[in-house]
Structure 1
Amino acid sequence: MGLNTLCILSYTKRRFRLRVSTAKIVEKPWGREIWYAHEREYAGKILEIKKGFRSSLQYHEKKKETMYVLEGEIRIIKKDGELTLKEGESVTINPGEMHRIVPLRDSKILESSTPELDDVIRVEDDYNR
């Protein structure tokens, strides 16, 4: 089973059932996002970001997110400094915190967040979005 199809196990009326859902692929100038969960309470994405590119400098009004580096190495640029994350390391970004992701090599990031996936205020963007 590839990244495009995920199995979700749910408990209903004292029995288990398997629900297969298809992940949503969102192409970005810097790579892509794989949205594997977008529920009322939470969201889950995998960000694939290529070296030589970077995300916009952005913040969120409501969204809180935790990023875990699955593969690669990234630099998180924030107003109060920079943080380098390697495989197996994570950081939480709170609402209102300005941040940018800069990959130091091709990277995959697991992002778990509150469900406001469209809550993005771009301050600077290399791709004029």
Structure 2
Amino acid sequence: MRREPAWYREGSEPDYRFTLANERTFLAWVRTALALLAGAVAVVHVLPTAALPGVRTAVAVLLAATATVLPWAAYQRWARVQRAMRLGRDLPFTRSLALVAVLLGVLGAGVVVLVLAT
């Protein structure tokens, strides 16, 4: 028995190419989350503990927290886009892209500070 959300029965099935493109985008977000999680592990285990311990911990926690939230945000985005396509509506706007870009910029700056401190 297949369980699907109620909105999945709304509208009509979009061209499978668009559905697959939406799925590839979702998977790209999940890969990004995995990379962020790997970065958190690397920051904790590779950088010396003497190098600004508070900054090191903050960067690792922010990386791990972002990696934890990103798959949920990716699924929400996938579902909104899929529903819009099924109903023939315009694709929805997402703030997730800007938020991830800002977070990565802040995290990148933190890593630069850590590397320069070692």
Give the alignment's TM-score, normalised by structure 1: 0.20
Structure exhibiting the larger radius of gyration computed from Cα positions: 2
| Structure with higher RCO (Cα < 8 A, 6+ apart) | 2
Whose helix proportion is higher, 1 or 2? 2
Comparing both structures, which one devotes a greater share of its residues to strand?
A: 1
Structure 2 length-normalised TM: 0.21
